[in-house]
Amino acid sequence: MDVLDTHTPDHGWTQHYELMREMGDCYTQLGEFDQARRCYEKAAALEPDEDGPYVGTGVIALQEGRLDDAELAFRVALRLNRRCSRAWAGLAMIRQQRNALAEAFECYLKSLDLNSDNLTALLGLFQVSCQMGSFERVIDYLNIYLDKHPGDTAVMFCLATLYVKEHKPQQARQLLESVLIFEPNNDDARNLLEEVEHMQAQTTGVSK
């Protein structure tokens, strides 16, 4: 029996809503966007005041390159819940794709202010910061994230690259050495560490 075609019970609507929304998220991850849309539509009908289905619809539109439809969906989500971190991140991604970097930067910050664990927003802010050449805020958020997730080597590497750009080789070196403890075969980290060591040698006047 197709779960989507079952009769909604008179009780347990909240549980049924959660099921539909979670199924929508799963179908989205699998790239089954038509099925995902059906789930989100069902979820929105069950709980019209919940932001989740609209965030999901926006994610699908974003992945399909329909930026106007994605923006509309994320704005509906924010109208229902101004504290929806995922919707702010979605708007930021749209701004980033449209090369409105300053607006993307602000939307990513709003997303992270609401949820510092939002990795999509964190990495998006990293990308935009590199494009803009502004690193102070993203360094703060990367450190906050690593305080909670100390073994995330991808974030550690991102932070190390920013320390290199900020001419802070000692901090970069410590992070890169930690990355290589977790991932001894990480060539990117090893190459950047060699670059950092070369910078430090030049600074101290020691010949490599």
> What pLDDT is attached to residue 208?
46
In our burial notation (b when 16+ CB lie closer than 10 A, e otherwise), range 42-74 reads bbbebbeebbbbbbbbbbbbbeeeeeeebbebb
- 74 and 94 in contact (C-beta within 8 Å)? yes
> What pLDDT is attached to residue 9?
46
- 167 and 196 in contact (C-beta within 8 Å)? no
pTM: 0.86
d(CA 112, CA 72): 21
d(CA 207, CA 200): 10
How many residues are given for the chain?
208
| Domain covering 1-82: architecture | Alpha Horseshoe (1.25)
d(CA 172, CA 23): 41
**HEC profile for 71-92?**
HHHHHHHHHHCCCCHHHHHHHH
How does pLDDT run along the chain (208 residues), one tens digit per residue? 344 444 444 445 578 999 999 999 999 999 999 999 999 999 999 999 999 999 999 999 999 999 999 999 999 999 999 999 999 999 999 999 999 999 999 999 999 999 999 999 999 999 999 999 999 999 999 999 999 999 999 999 999 999 999 999 999 999 999 999 999 999 999 999 999 999 888 877 654 4
